[in-house]
Amino acid sequence: MTTQHFHAQGRIAKFALGQVVRHRERPFRGVIFDVDPQFANTEEWYESIPEESRPDKDQPFYHLYAETEATYYVAYVSEQNLEPDTSGEPIDHPELSDLFGDFEDGRYYLMAPIN
């Protein structure tokens, strides 16, 4: 299987679709299901982040199927706030099966489109 990376303004995004990552400061892990080459959310969302924690908009932002010990949700996270998850543990997010197949070798693989 190939790993799908996205080019973000002349550079390759650090993380790939299906990769399991964790937030550097918040207690959640997730699986990447989409990448924006730079910030593409609302200004209200951006302004809701405390100024001292606000990431630079000129970097890849990742859409994640995220989980905490208590809940599941979709997260939008800057590249600078993510790191690879090395636990080897799968993610239990209920929407994962919409896009991805089995968890193998620490990552999920995109399912082939059905024609």
pTM: 0.86
Q: What is the pLDDT of residue 1?
A: 38
Give, for 45, the enclosing helix (H) or strand (E). Answer: helix 43-47
Model confidence at 6: pLDDT above 70: no
Q: What is the pLDDT of residue 2?
A: 40
Model confidence at 8: pLDDT above 50: no
Q: What is the pLDDT of residue 3?
A: 46
Q: How far apart are CA 30 and CA 39, in angstroms?
A: 19
Model confidence at 107: pLDDT above 80: yes
Stretch 80-103: mean pLDDT: 95
Q: What is the pLDDT of residue 11?
A: 59
pLDDT single digits (tens) 9-41: 555 789 999 999 999 999 999 999 999 999 999
Give me the residue label for tokens 């208590």.
70
